[in-house]
Amino acid sequence: MSVNYSNPSNEMVQIFSESESEFEEKNILCIDCNKNFVWSIGEQTFYRDKGLQNPPKRCKECKQAKNERLAAIAAAQAAGIKQRIEVAVNCARCSSQTTVPFYPSQGRPVYCRSCFLEMNPNLIKQDLH
> What is the reported pLDDT for 123?
77
pLDDT digits (tens, 9 = 90+) for 108-129: 899 999 999 999 888 766 554 4
Cut 0.85: pTM above it: no
Q: Rounded to an integer, what distance in angstroms lies between the CA atom of residue 22 and that of residue 17? A: 9
Interval 44-71 mean pLDDT: 92
List the domain boundaries for the chain: 1-83, 84-129
> What is the reported pLDDT for 125?
61
> What is the reported pLDDT for 126?
55
**Burial of 59 from C-beta contacts in 10 A (0-12 / 13-18 / 19+):** buried
Q: Helix or strand or coil: residue 89? A: strand
Q: Are 110 and 104 in contact (CB under 8 A)?
A: yes
Q: Are 100 and 110 in contact (CB under 8 A)?
A: yes
Q: End-to-end alpha-carbon separation of the chain, Å?
A: 71
Contacts of 72 (CB under 8 A, 6+ apart): 83
> What is the reported pLDDT for 58?
93
